[in-house]
């Protein structure tokens, strides 16, 4: 089975390496096919593709779209779409547009619990200010000594019910799938095991995604335990979803799994990359 890594981030969103650096690191780690999937942005794709071409690694356009489904923040991956598609580009611009205002509100909320300077602090970590994200706030809170690492930041801050979390209107599930399919791409649910959904709600979500034309789910993910891999392999077979594999690498020292280092897909699944 080829070593395909179809989920990772560059400095165009909340990764620590530039897009060409991500591609070169993937190739050095033995990746045969890479998709760069920055949050809500396509700017890194041409540079990553050029670097992939230089080292002879297959490259697929990717994106990770932030959506809201029944008040939960969920991520939908798009693969192998036309980079110039106007509806997709306009849709992603609309998703990005609220991020700076949300960051100001997050900063104000942190100020109330005695953490000052978070907006400027987070912005210092954001190479692309339009993609200011909770990760950048997290890095600032670690730097400021508020938490010892990113994991504890996300336990104590920046998540629903904790200081620094601000509700946000993202795209809808229907929008995200329509944009990806309209641009000739394939839509996949990112790290399904990470969402706080009951089993029944997850099934309802997957059925709705399938009805809208969604084709794949990420079975192997840097944020899945072996038990979650089993669960989503079973659901992929049951719903006849294609299966994806992605590290969700954000940077050296920050991610649990490096590019290309996940276990292979379990048997009996149809890999999404066979359709590219």
Name the residues that contact ligand AMP, by CB under 6 A: 14, 39, 66, 133-135, 150-151, 154, 250
Q: Which whole-number Å values give the CA distances from 166 to 108, 119, 212, in the listed order?
A: 10, 14, 28
Residue 129 CB, shortest distance to ligand AMP, in Å, is 13
CB closer to ligand AMP, 41 vs 233:
41
CB closer to Mn ion, 14 vs 40:
14
CB closer to ligand AMP, 148 vs 151:
151
Q: Is 40 in the site for Mn ion (CB under 5 A)?
A: no
CB closer to ligand AMP, 24 vs 250:
250
Q: Is 24 in the site for Mn ion (CB under 5 A)?
A: no
Q: Is 248 in the site for Mn ion (CB under 5 A)?
A: yes
Among 24, 75, 125, 136, binds Mn ion (CB under 5 A): 75
Q: Which whole-number Å values give the CA distances from 65 to 127, 227, 244, 264, in the listed order?
A: 19, 26, 16, 25
Nearest to 214 by CA among 33, 36, 75: 75
Q: Which whole-number Å values give the CA distances from 180 to 63, 83, 88, 184, 225, in the listed order?
A: 9, 10, 7, 7, 28
Tokens matching residue 50: 């050029």
Under DSSP, the state recorded for 275 is G
**Residue for token pair 């959904």:** 197
Residue 206 CB, shortest distance to ligand AMP, in Å, is 21
Q: Which does 150 bind (CB under 5 to 8 A by kind): Mn ion, ligand AMP, none?
A: ligand AMP
| Torsions phi, psi for 58 (to 5 deg) | -65, 145
Among 14, 38, 40, 218, binds Mn ion (CB under 5 A): 14
| Span 189-208, contacts to Mn ion by CB under 5 A | 190
Residue 13 CB, shortest distance to ligand AMP, in Å, is 8
Instruction: Give the length of the chain.
Output: 276
Residue 137 CB, shortest distance to ligand AMP, in Å, is 8
Q: Which whole-number Å values give the CA distances from 134 to 113, 214, 223, in the listed order?
A: 17, 27, 17
Residue 4 CB, shortest distance to ligand AMP, in Å, is 20
């Amino acid at each position: 089975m080829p070593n395909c890594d179809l989920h990772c981030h560059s400095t165009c969103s909340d990764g620590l390496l530039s897009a060409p650096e991500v591609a070169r690191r993937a190739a050095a780690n033995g990746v045969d096919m890479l998709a760069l999937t920055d949050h809500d942005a396509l700017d890194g794709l041409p540079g990553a593709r050029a670097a992939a071409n230089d080292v002879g690694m297959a490259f697929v356009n990717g994106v990770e779209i932030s959506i809201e489904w029944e008040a939960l923040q969920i991520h939908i991956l798009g693969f192998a779409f036309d980079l110039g598609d106007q509806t997709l580009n306009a849709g992603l611009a609309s998703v990005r547009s609220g991020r700076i205002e949300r960051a100001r509100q997050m900063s104000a909320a942190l100020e109330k619990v005695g953490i000052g300077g978070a907006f400027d602090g987070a912005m210092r970590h954001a190479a692309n200010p339009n993609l200011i994200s909770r990760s950048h706030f997290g890095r600032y809170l670690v730097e400021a000594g508020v938490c010892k690492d990113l994991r504890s930041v996300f336990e104590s801050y920046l998540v629903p019910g904790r200081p620094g979390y601000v509700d946000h209107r993202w795209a809808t599930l229907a929008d995200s799938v329509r944009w990806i399919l309209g641009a000739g791409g394939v839509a996949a649910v990112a790290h399904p095991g990470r969402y706080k959904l009951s089993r029944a709600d997850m099934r309802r979500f997957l059925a709705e995604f399938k009805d809208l034309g969604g084709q794949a789910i990420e079975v192997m993910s840097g944020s899945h335990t072996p038990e979650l891999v089993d669960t989503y392999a079973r659901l992929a077979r049951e719903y006849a979803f294609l299966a994806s594999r992605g590290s969700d690498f954000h940077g050296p020292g920050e991610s649990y799994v490096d590019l290309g280092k996940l276990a292979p897909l379990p048997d009996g699944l149809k890999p999404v990359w066979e359709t590219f």
